[in-house]
Amino acid sequence: MKYHGGYFIYTVRKSDIRLWQLLIMASLLLVGVWFRDFSLYPAQIIFTFAAGLITQAIFLRLFKLKQHGFLSAIITCFGLCLLLRSSTLWVHPAVASLVMASKFLIRPQGAHLFNPANLGVVLGLTFFPETWVTSGQWGQDLTTALWLIAAGFFIGRNAKRLDITAYFLVFYASLFLLIRVVWYGYTLPVFFHQFQNGALLLFAFFMISDPMTIPRHHKARILHAAVVAVLAYIWQYQLYWNQGIIWGLFWATFLVPLWNHLFPAPRYQWQALSGEHT
Amino acid sequence: MTTRLIFLLLTLLISQTSQAFCGFYVAKADASLYNQASQVVMTRKDDKTVLSLMNDYQGELKDFALVVPVPQVLTEGQIHIGDAKLFKHIDDFTSPRLVEYHDEDPCSPPVMYEKMMSAPMPTAAMPQKAKSDKSLGVTVEAEYTVGEYDIVILSAKESDGLEKWLQASGYKIPKGASSALKPYIKQNLKFFVAKVNLKEQSKTGSKFLRPLQFAFESPKFMLPIRLGMINAKGPQDLLVYILTEKGRVESSNYQTLKLPSNMDIPVYIKDNFADFYKALFETQVKKQNLRAVFTEYFWNMGWCDPCASEPLSPEELKQLGVFWLEGNSQQGMGMPVQVTRLHVRYTPDSFPEDLSFQETRDTENFQGRYVLRHAWQGKPEQCEAAKTYFEQLAKRHEQEAKTLAELTGWELSDIKKKMNLTDAPDKESTDQWWKKIW
């Protein structure tokens, strides 16, 4: 990012779409902390960013990757702040450091495997004390939902990976409608209640849509979306465990190298004018 | 906006220094405030759940019927009659509380706190009957008489059949129950159905029904609230006390919010704390369009600060289903029992599905606590510090009035009248910086 004075807006529009993503996530965080009662301390936010960005910088130096930047790292830090809750001050920065390191150390087929924010939540829930995820934190506010959709759509369209968001939502909604509404006899308001949840929309538009960690080929992305939806549904509604979507994506990630092998396609490049190429 | 962040930070710092409480507990807002309040105690560890249902049914005993979906056919040993006193105790222990402090004498800084004050709990309306008349099923899997209850465990294949069976068997169930029953039947749940055995009931010598308790295993951590809504007229209140081993419990499918707490409010509230709390809760519920679950209390069961009532004893906890306590040795701060008190006001539209819960790993204490600060009874002329004190006091009173108006939705002018505050007499002039020069 360079300072372009009066041309700032124009430059942003043409530059890396992650900048938009970053602005949206930052505003979600602000809205969440101020109006939605997210139990998040300012110190946790500061430490997350400090640890995440320092780790990123260390690895960039270590691997001498000068052309890489910090945009993705910042987005990951926002993701962790939006999702992870802890009553300690050290879990957020520890998780942020680990997932940044994972991007440089776990690279089958020459690209990082795990969606960093997704891996962060899984690590936090599994290995760290006093750490949890509050899936109900967004409330079922319709306006929040609509706003997330609109914002997510914008990013998705620019990143040309909105397809996986749409596939995932269609698969997941179909499973819910067929099994729970048609077969079990739940009412439609139950469906709307579940699908107006900000956590689900945030996941669909900002997590699963990360172009670097999903299959490269269009067809493989359809398969991937279906696998995530089925795993998430089973986790959430058959086993009655929590955070089905997060765990669904995590387990489905292990199949991504296979999909990329079976359906070869070129790697995604951020359409950046900011000089960053990941 | 910024104050919120600062507030969060402050509470963090305070909790880390584990500052001792030095105010006095004076009143509580307990469950008897709310009409149509159902009270449930849930005790859960791993997949094991003990559910205790407080029975405040007040109608004709012969008309009483209770239907609860349960995950399996319960044996007689899994059903128990509880003690209503335990509900009273856990309600008292977790109630939102009013505490009071007395300002120090600004002219002689060393502090002495005054004696404990106590105010009688304001009398509240008697709770109305809980809606519990429900519908039943087709195969009678088991039949027991436990205490004053005749209990059948049913399974059903079709919801229409279940509804008809129930009506034919003399249970008063509302029309339209079958659509509410369907999802439970499709998921192979059984139905726990209780009515009153009048002969056994007369032997108890009490006209009140005792709480029913049952123990079962299920991966689902939820409370079936939808059945209770079929014939609901207005919004219903539900208080859920959840006893877990490790952390705070929150809803996993509805937003869970902490009620505004730890605020200074005018001292006159001491005499009508119940009205204050009712108005506060009402205001918060409306703000969320009846779509949120509110946390009123979360604390380790071994201690409290300030205590609205003594912590429940290990024996009492055992009776509420805490099966993992070994002996009476595990008491005090490290007790492996946490209590979460959730308060929900819902309508059929605002809560379209049953309440699901998750136990988080959050161990940070929370309580509904409201603070009265009594002014120092001196005169501004006594010393220089006293003058400053009274200036500060005037500002504080203004702030307390504003806080109260925001929390309750009451008129600011009425509050000020009750506080004997004149409308900001020379607020302007005290804020003028040049007053400090000359």
Binding-face residues of A in 111-170 toward B, CB within 8 A: 129-132, 134-141
More confident residue, B76 or B436: B76
CB contact under 8 A, A193 and B352: yes
Domains of chain B, by residue range, sit at 18-58+82-130+212-374
Asked if pLDDT for residue A193 goes beyond 80, the answer is yes
Q: Which of B14, B18, B252 would you mutate first to test chain A, the one with the most A CBs within 10 A? A: B252
Do residues A161 and A218 lie in contact, with contact meaning Cβ atoms separated by under 8 Å? Answer: no
Is B100 within 8 Å of B267 (Cβ atoms)?
yes
The pLDDT assigned to B26 comes to 47
Tens-digit pLDDT profile for residues B275-301: 999 999 999 999 988 999 999 999 999
Q: Which of B220, B250, B363 sits opposite A130 (nearest CB)?
A: B363
CB A215 within 8 A of CB A224: yes
Helix extents (H) in B187-344: 198-204, 273-287, 314-319
Supply the pLDDT for residue A136. 83
Q: Which of A42, A130, A137 sits opposite B362 (nearest CB)?
A: A130
User: Does A240 sit within 8 Å of B186, measured CB to CB?
Assistant: no
Contacts of residue A108, defined as CB under 8 A and 6 or more positions apart, other chains included, come to A257
Residue A5 — very low, low, confident or very high, per pLDDT cuts 50/70/90? Answer: very low
Q: CB B1 to CB A34 under 8 A?
A: yes
Residue A26: in which H helix or E strand, if any? helix A18-35
Chain B interface includes A110 (CB < 8 A): no
**Number of C-beta neighbours around residue B312 at 10 A:** 24
**Record: contact A242-B187, CB cut-off 8 A:** no
Region B94-112: mean pLDDT is: 78
Q: What is the pLDDT of residues B403-416, one digit of tens each?
A: 999 999 999 999 99
Inter-chain CB proximity A87 and B251 less than 8 Å: no
Rounded to a whole number of angstroms, the CA Rg of chain B reads: 25
Interface A-B, measured as beta-carbon pairs within 8 A, has a size of 94
- Between CA A180 and CA B187 the distance in angstroms is 10
Taking a contact as any Cβ pair under 8 Å apart, which residues of chain B between 405 and 424 contact chain A? none
pLDDT bucket at A271, cuts 50 / 70 / 90: low
- Segment B57-64 shows an average pLDDT of 74
Report residue A111 as tokens: 């690209």
Whether pLDDT at A159 is above 70: no
Cα distances from A189 to residues A177, A180, B184, B253, B349, in angstroms, run 11, 12, 17, 13, 8
Interface with A, mutate which of B222, B229, B362 (most A CBs under 10 A):
B362
- B160, A166 contact by CB (below 8 A): no
What is residue A141's predicted lDDT score, i.e. its pLDDT? Answer: 65
Percent of chain B past pLDDT 70, that is, above it, reads 80
pLDDT for B436 beyond 80: no
- Distance in Å, alpha carbon of B371 to nearest chain A alpha carbon: 22
Average pLDDT over every residue of A108-117: 89
Query: Is pLDDT above 70 for B126?
Result: no
Among B358, B359, B363, the strongest candidate for a mutation testing the A interface, having the largest count of A CBs within 10 A, is B358
CB contact under 8 A, B361 and A129: yes
B175 inside 8 A of chain A by CB: no
Q: Do residue B362 and residue A39 have CB atoms under 8 angstroms apart? A: yes
B361, A241: Cβ pair inside 8 Å? Answer: no
Binary contact (A190, B251; C-beta < 8 A): no
Backbone angles phi, psi at B137, to 5 degrees: -130, -150
State phi, psi for B367 to the nearest 5 degrees: -145, 150
Compute the average pLDDT of residues B424-429: 53
Question: In angstroms, rounded to a whole number, what is the distance separating the alpha carbons of residues A196 and B314?
Answer: 42
What are the residue ranges spanned by the domains of chain A?
A: 5-133, 140-262
Nearest to B254 by CA among B366, B356, B346: B356
- Strand intervals (E) in B188-228: 190-196, 212-217, 222-223
Mean pLDDT confidence for B18-46? 62
Residue B256 banded pLDDT, cuts 50, 70, 90: very high
pLDDT (0 to 100) of residue B178: 82
pLDDT higher than threshold 80 for residue A218: yes
Query: Using DSSP, how many helices (H) and how many strands (E) does chain A show?
Result: 13, 2
**A197: exposed, middle or buried (C-beta count within 10 Å: 0-12, 13-18, 19+)?**
buried
Indicate yes or no: CB of B9 within 8 angstroms of CB of A43: yes
Which residues contact residue A106 at a Cβ distance below 8 angstroms, ignoring those fewer than 6 apart?
A112, A113, A114
**Residue B316 CB neighbour total at 10 angstroms:** 18
| Cis geometry, peptide bond prior to residue B266 (ω within 30 degrees of 0) | no
Measured between beta carbons, the chain B residues lying within 8 angstroms of A130 are: 247, 361-363
Eight-state DSSP code of residue B58: -
Chain Cα centroid distance, residue A38: 18
To the nearest whole number, what is the mean pLDDT of chain B? 80
The predicted-structure confidence for B224-235, as pLDDT tens digits, reads as follows: 888 877 766 788
A144-158, A260-274, B29-43, B56-70: which has the minimum mean pLDDT?
A144-158
Nearest residue on chain A to B357, alpha-carbon basis = A242
A27 touches chain B (CB under 8 A): no
Tens-place pLDDT, residues B316-368: 999 999 999 886 555 677 789 999 999 999 998 899 999 999 999 999 999 99
Q: What is the pLDDT of residues A18-59, one digit of tens each?
A: 777 788 888 888 887 777 777 888 899 999 999 999 999 999
CA distance A274 to chain B (A): 33
Closest to A207 in 3D by CA, of A164, A176, A269:
A164
Instruction: Report yes or no: B159 at the A interface, CB cutoff 8 Å.
Output: yes
Give kind and range of the element (H or E) at residue A88.
none
Is A187 within 8 Å of B352 when comparing Cβ atoms? yes
**Residue B205: left (phi > 0), alpha (psi -120 to 50), or beta?**
left
